[in-house]
Homo-oligomer: A and B are copies of this chain.
Amino acid sequence: MPVRMDSAETRFRVRYAETDQMGVVYYSNYMIWMEVGRVEWCKRFARNYRDMESEDGILLAVAECHCRYLAPARFDDEIVVKTWLERADPRLLTFAYEIRLAGVDQRLATGFTRHIILDKAFRRARLPAKYFAMFGVEKAAQ
């Protein structure tokens, strides 16, 4: 299943609020960072996610999430989130992520999120055809 292999990179610094008493970033914040990564991916390669929601009435609801933590992130670290689309069909999109420490060659975490498409009434829906090319959805999958 061919998908857009382009990846987007987003950078930001760890906020004090994101640390916990272990002195490192609390684990649920990586899911927020994944969101920051895929919003950037959509903006760059597909469509502004804000407009997908408000203009096309499409919601990408998270159906599954996985994260492997390899090394801790600390306050004020510069983080790089690399995001790409791993799988795309009209009913399910899978984004993959690699979270690294900027500058040095160190991976902090890897993970993925799977998203189902919902309409405004929270019913299962298909990705509108106009998005197929952007998300690399294959003809066969339609």
A141 at the interface (CB under 8 A from B): no
Complex contacts, A44 vs chain B, CB 8 Å: none
Residues on B with beta carbons closer than 8 Å to the beta carbon of A75: 21, 50
Q: Which of A8-42 contact B (CB under 8 A)?
A: 12-13, 15-17, 19-24, 26-29, 31-32, 35-36, 39
Name which of A65-73, A89-97, A99-107, A124-132 contacts chain B. Answer: A65-73
A64 at the interface (CB under 8 A from B): yes
In the bound complex, do residue B16 and residue A39 qualify as a contact, i.e. CB atoms below 8 Å apart? yes
Oligomeric state, in number of copies? Answer: 4
Q: A26, B16: Cβ atoms under 8 Å? A: yes
If the complex has contacts A15-B36, A29-B28, are A65 and B63 also in contact, measured as CB distance less than 8 A?
A: no
Contacts of A21 on B, CB cut-off 8 Å? 16, 19-24, 53, 75
- Residue numbers in B under 8 Å from A61 (CB-CB): 22, 69, 72
- In the complex where A22-B61, A59-B22, A64-B68 touch, is A35 in contact with B15 (Cβ < 8 A)? yes
Chain B nearest Cβ from A108, distance in angstroms? 12
- Contact between B22 and A20 (Cβ–Cβ < 8 Å)? no
Closest CB of chain B to A39's CB: distance in Å?
7
Instruction: State A17–B32 Cα separation when bound (angstroms).
Output: 6
Listed A/B pairs (9) with beta-carbon separation below 8 Å: A17-B26, A21-B21, A21-B75, A28-B28, A28-B32, A28-B35, A50-B76, A64-B69, A65-B66
